[in-house]
Structure 1
Amino acid sequence: MQAASNPYQQYLQNAVLTADPGRLTLMLYTGAVKFIRQASDCLAARDIPGAHRANLRAQDIIVYLLETVNREMEVGKNLSALYDYMYRRLVEANVKKDPAILEEVAGLVEDLAGTWEQALKLKGQQAAGG
């Protein structure tokens, strides 16, 4: 369905296209968690093709984050290593059909999302106060 014919899709597309890089990163974390949870739910329902598709979508997000991280800064190097680890674990979860690995990665991404959200709030407070 095209975004123009679906107001919700149009809203989502506009939200992504107009988001600043920090907000976009948070959206990517949220999407990754959504697809990881979807993969886990599909495994529980014995929907192996659905679990595979959802896992691949989560992997795509992690690969995007890995490719776009700034490795010139120490925090970027650390994030790069973490994204690489999460990607390898998602591949392993997909091969083994292991919901425990999916849960581990979902927890890591949720932790990152929480930290990122706090950083965005602090940045917003500093911008408002400064």
Structure 2
Amino acid sequence: MAINNPYATYQNNSVNTSTPGELTLMLYNGCLKFIHQAKKALETGDIEEKNKATQKAQAIVSELMVTLDTSVAVSEQMMTLYDFVNNRLLEANIKNESKFYDEAADIMTEFRDTWKQVIQINRQKQYANMDEI
């Protein structure tokens, strides 16, 4: 018998009704969440949880790399930075040093913040176009 979980239903609906841009923003936020979880687990000595959270963050970075539109000029630089983030996460997991998590989080935060601005600009353009109709 399935138990209704309103939060799980909300999450499922938000993913299913989001634009591609919003989904990318969710990936950035998820990656940052897992990086922070991994760093916290490292600080508390929970190596298993650190490893799980690090692998989840790496999976998100890998997804961002796979879905990167290589026809856009900036994609080569983005790919290089994603690869760097993935390597920082690997180093953090192997060497148990939080500075590597910090480096990865800094880059992903920049990506996330920039992406948020892109979404806001696109929404403003959409609403401006609707006013003209």
> Scaled by the length of structure 2, what TM-score is found?
0.92
Structure 2 residue runs without a partner (length 5+): none
RMSD: 1.5
Mapped contact 1:33–1:106 kept (Cα < 8 A):
yes
Q: For residue 69 of structure 1, give the secondary structure of its aligned residue in structure 2.
A: coil
- Taking the aligned partners of 1:60 and 1:96, their CA distance within structure 2 comes to 19
- Taking the aligned partners of 1:106 and 1:3, their CA distance within structure 2 comes to 37
- Count of residue pairs the alignment pairs up: 129
Structure 1 residue runs without a partner (length 5+): none
- The yes-or-no answer on 1:126 pairing with 2:114 is no
Mapped contact 1:3–1:13 kept (Cα < 8 A):
no
Look up the match of 1:93: 92
The 5-angstrom pairing of residues 39-118 of structure 1 reads 39-118=38-117
Answer with 1 or 2: which has the greater Rg.
2
**For the structure 1 residues 123 and 7, does the alpha-carbon distance in structure 2 shift closer, same or farther, using more than 3 Å as the test?**
same
**For the structure 1 residues 79 and 4, does the alpha-carbon distance in structure 2 shift closer, same or farther, using more than 3 Å as the test?**
farther
> Scaled by the length of structure 1, what TM-score is found?
0.94
